[in-house]
Structures are given as C-alpha cells and as structure tokens.
Amino acid sequence: MPTALCSTGGGIALLAVSSLAAAPAAAQSRSDYPTRPVRIVVAQAAGSGVDLMARTVAAKLTESFGQQVIVENRAGANGIIGHEAVAKAKPDGYTLGLGVPSALAMNPFVYKSLPYDTLRDFAPITQTATNTFVLVVNPSLPVRSGADLVALGKRRPGDLIYASFGVGNQTHLAGELFRLETGLDVLHVPYKGETPAVAELLGGQVAYMFAPAQGVTPHIRAGRLRLLASLGEKRASAFPDAPTMVEAGVRRVVVTGWTGLLAPAGTPAEIIDRVHRETARHLASPELRERLSSAGAEPVGSSPAEFAAFIRAEMEKWSRVVRDAGLAGTQ
C-alpha cells in the first residue's frame, strides 16, 4: 500500500495514504484519471537539473495519460515556495511535485519553522533518480584535483569562495561537510537557486561549487567548468575518469542528490499507484536510462513505501550534518 510520512510522538513513522484520504478526494479516484492536465511543481528555476528531470518525466507521463502534464516552476526560498504549493494543493492527483533533499530532508532542521511538514503533508510516489554530485571549479583556478583544492585552501586561508544554491541547501551542506572534514577557512556565498550560482562560477566570481551533475554537465563537457571529483562512494558512470573525494583523501565527503515525485497527503491510493506505475515503467526504459546516465543521474522508480523510508533515512543523516555545522534553527 502506498504510504505517506508522518511524525508521531517526536519519532518518524509511516502512515498509510488511505487513512489520510478525505472523502471528497476519494470520490475523484476514478479509473479514468486523469481527465484534464496535471501539473508538476518544481521548486527551482527553468533550466536547472531538477527542472530538466521534471520535464523528462512530464513528457513521458503525457504519453501515458493522454493528457498534458506540465511543469510549473515555483522557485525561491530554498525550495520552500514550491513545496508549500504542493503541500497545500487539493489532493486530487492534479498537482504533483518533484521533491528534492534540501527542501524535504534539510530545511526541517535549518529553519525555525516551515509552512509544510515533510512527515505529514506529502504522499511519496516514487524516487525518480539519484543524482551524482560533483566538485567543479572555474578553469582559471590553478587546481586539477580535490587534493589540489585542499592544498590551495591551506596556502590561502580565507581567500577561497564557494557558491551554493542557498543557505541550508544540499549544495551548501556539501560545502560545509567539506569544510568540516578539511579544516579549510573558506567563504560561503549563497545564491537564489542553481542558475545564478552556476552563472557566477562561470564568470569567476566564486572559486568552486558542489552541485548536482545534471545542471553542470554541459559546462564540463564544453570546458567552461573543470570537474575535480565526484562525491559518490564509487566513481560515477558518467565521469569514469573523475576520482571520488574519498580517493582524494577526504573520506567522509560522500554526497548523493536525488529527486522524487510527491503528491499532497490525502491523495487517493489509486492515483498514487497509477502515477508510480507509469513513472517507474518509463524510468526503466533503455531510452531514459541512457539519457539520464549521460547527465550523471541514475533512474530509480522505487515504490511509494520505499521512497517514504528513503526520505526518513535522509532526514536522519542530514540532521546530523546541520547540527555539526552549527546551522540548526539558524534561518
């Protein structure tokens, strides 16, 4: 049975979606869903890696449903605006969201309060992909590896600037994890999303950035950014020649991005099941696997219950990083 996340007595538990479905929503869970266009809310700007993932899924679901599946970009506030829109939408299957770790697994610990509760307000549908995280620098920086960057930072304390997509974002916390593990004295500059952060790195206003591979791969291929390392436990299939941070000697800097489809809590189980089945089917196709892998993403297509458990584990992991970086409740 598909599940939504909920919190009980301060712990984390799983709650059956069917128990959350209100009668009016259940009345709409007909087998002919959808009968009109469906929107997928993306909490990042058009052109970002998350946006590209959403548009890939939307195009395939349009084929399956015979109804237009459109992407609506609601960027801002570190993903809060877009995720709030999903959490507060009518639970009828016509508003979905593409969830990301920053908004779901990190914001709850960085922010004093949020207009949504990850464990209460969403019905997980499927994890769509894991995204390779990479360390990239402006080519003008005289470094060729992660170890080179650490050495440069040691020689020039307080001089290096790294960019992120926003305070408390996964790109920020990856940078803080790197700082904590290396002891470097560096400056963090947060931007309002992926697009301006990448633009500033391309322009040389900042030295380096940790980012999902999807959004920066075209710049790496074109030589506009230099790839120093990937952040997985093993080398990324899209970048087999790039060593991991573990290989560079920074053993605990292991970061993986991800995306996943969500619906508002209370969305009928029949609708959750259909969206999951169609999405997972397309993600398993050779066409999508090749397309996503070439951009540094690996398709998943997990069940609603598996995705719910995955979100719970991510929250537990990143709560510790937020605490150790001194960012708990700072926003």
Residue 112 sits in a domain whose CATH number is 3.40.190.150
Is the pLDDT assigned to residue 205 strictly greater than 50?
yes
Percentage of the chain surpassing pLDDT 90? 70
Is 192 within a domain? yes
Q: How far apart are CA 25 and CA 100, in angstroms?
A: 26
Looking at the fold, whether 96 and 201 belong to one and the same domain comes out as no
At 195, which CATH number? 3.40.190.10
Same domain, 146 and 118: no
User: Is 145 in the same domain as 124?
Assistant: no
- Which residues are paired to 134 by β-bridges? 211, 230
Q: Are residues 124 and 268 in the same domain?
A: yes
- Lowest mean pLDDT of 47-56, 119-128, 204-213, name the range: 47-56
331 part of a folded domain: no
Query: pLDDT higher for 7 or 69?
Result: 69
Question: Are 51 and 151 in a shared domain?
Answer: no
| Whether 31 and 107 share a structural domain | yes
Number of domains in the chain: 2
Please tell me whether residues 51 and 191 are part of one structural domain: no
Whether residue 329 lies inside any domain: the answer is no
Same domain, 146 and 163: yes
Per-residue pLDDT of 288-303, as tens digits, reads 998 888 777 889 999 9
Instruction: Indicate whether 112 and 94 sit together in one domain.
Output: yes
Q: Are 300 and 107 in contact (CB under 8 A)?
A: no
Residue 251: predicted pLDDT: 83
The 10 Å CB-count burial string (b at 16+, else e) for 233-267 is eebbebbeebbbbbbbebeebbbbbbbbbbbbbbb
Checking if the pLDDT of 271 tops 70, the result is yes
Is 330 part of any domain? no
In a shared domain, residues 292 and 204: no
- Residue 167: what pLDDT? 87
d(CA 268, CA 264): 10
pLDDT at 294: 78
Same domain? For 214 and 154 the reply is: yes
Q: Is residue 253 part of a domain?
A: no
* Mean pLDDT of all residues in 74-96: 95
Residue 177, Cβ density class (10 Å: 0-12 exposed, 13-18 middle, ≥19 buried): buried
Q: Does 302 fall in a domain?
A: yes
Same domain, 121 and 45: yes
- In tens, the pLDDT along 148-190 reads 999 999 999 999 999 999 888 899 999 999 999 999 999 999 9
Tell me the whole-structure pTM to 2 decimals: 0.79
Domain boundaries, position 48: 3-130+258-324
Tell me, what's the pLDDT at 30? 53
User: pLDDT tens, 10-37?
Assistant: 444 443 343 334 444 444 445 789 999 9
| pLDDT tens, position by position, 28-79 | 445 789 999 999 999 988 888 889 899 999 999 999 999 999 999 998 888 9
Is residue 102 situated within a structural domain? Answer: yes
